[in-house]
Amino acid sequence: MRRVFADIHAALCTDENLSMYYKLGYTLIACEKFSGRTSEMTERGVSVVGKVVIDASSISDLREALGKVKYRESVIAVHPESVEVARWAAHDGRVDVILLTPSNIRIFDKRQFSTMKYYSKPLEIRIPHLLYSNSEVKSYFYRRLNMLVRFKLGFALGTSASSFYELLHPLVAVKALKTLYDIPEKIALLALTDIPRQIIFRKLNV
């Protein structure tokens, strides 16, 4: 049976990129920008939804931005730039995932993970940040990833690919998380299958 891989964040979807996604086993994509006839790919088994990333440093900025997005149709990620925004995003039902990056990683402490766990709000992490950051940033990611595993908090991995050259086979990403961050393969696999798949399915079934 073909495993259903899902990408919670593609930076750009072109016909060429989506063809490569299909070859690598991805069937569900949340895409920030589009170029080309993406509807044709749906017939080949790749379903695509829109992705909106909101950068916010204050609750008022976040609320204003959320009021302008079509949250029922697109996957909404919030990139919090303050603790207050991170806490608010955790309980706002319009937000699908909260994005952790090298620039805001210090915001994600035990209290934030506990809040996200309570509201069943998954984390989004982008594969390039995990693979290509410097050693200091990787050490921060190591601690956060292992903390979220202890909290049993779900997370979804995004390729952030804008070119098919940037795509990795999903199982390579799973192995990298195990090798670099001591994340069990079953948990890493969920970050590219069940967790992003459930989020994207909700948008497809509106």
Cβ–Cβ under 8 Å, residues 39 and 4: no
Return left, alpha or beta for 182; rule: phi > 0 is left, psi -120 to 50 is alpha, else beta: left
Tell me which range, 35-44, 62-71, 197-206, is most confidently predicted by mean pLDDT. Answer: 62-71
**Range name among 36-50, 146-160, 168-182, 191-205 with the lowest pLDDT average:** 36-50
What pLDDT, in 10s, does the model give residues 160-201? Answer: 999 989 999 999 999 999 999 999 999 999 999 999 999 999
Residue 4's pLDDT band, with cuts at 50, 70 and 90, is: confident
Q: What is the model's pLDDT at position 142?
A: 98
Distance set, CA 30 to CA 11, 27, 33, 160 (Å): 9, 10, 9, 10
Burial of 193 (0-12, 13-18, 19+ CB in 10 A): buried
Distance set, CA 3 to CA 132, 192, 197, 199 (Å): 27, 10, 11, 17
Compute the average pLDDT of residues 86-97.
Answer: 97
Task: Indicate whether 38 pLDDT > 70.
Answer: no
Compute the average pLDDT of residues 89-118.
Answer: 97
Q: What is the model's pLDDT at position 16?
A: 87
Q: What is the DSSP letter of 196?
A: H
All structural domains of the chain, each given as residue ranges with its CATH number in brackets, are 5-204 (3.20.20.140)
Cβ–Cβ under 8 Å, residues 143 and 149: no
Task: Indicate whether 42 pLDDT > 70.
Answer: no
When the pLDDT of each residue in the chain is averaged and rounded to a whole number, the result is 93
Task: Indicate whether 36 pLDDT > 70.
Answer: no
Task: Indicate whether 6 pLDDT > 60.
Answer: yes
Rounded to an integer, what distance in angstroms lies between the CA atom of residue 16 and that of residue 168?
15
Q: What are phi and psi of 142, to 5 degrees?
A: -60, -50
Extract the tokens encoding 176: 């990298």
Classified as helix, coil or strand, 27 is: strand
What pLDDT, in 10s, does the model give residues 106-119? Answer: 999 999 999 999 99
Say which residues have a Cβ less than 8 Å from residue 52's Cβ, sequence separation at least 6.
32, 69, 71, 74, 75, 76, 77
Cβ–Cβ under 8 Å, residues 196 and 8: yes
What pLDDT, in 10s, does the model give residues 48-90? Answer: 999 999 999 999 999 999 999 999 999 999 999 999 999 999 9
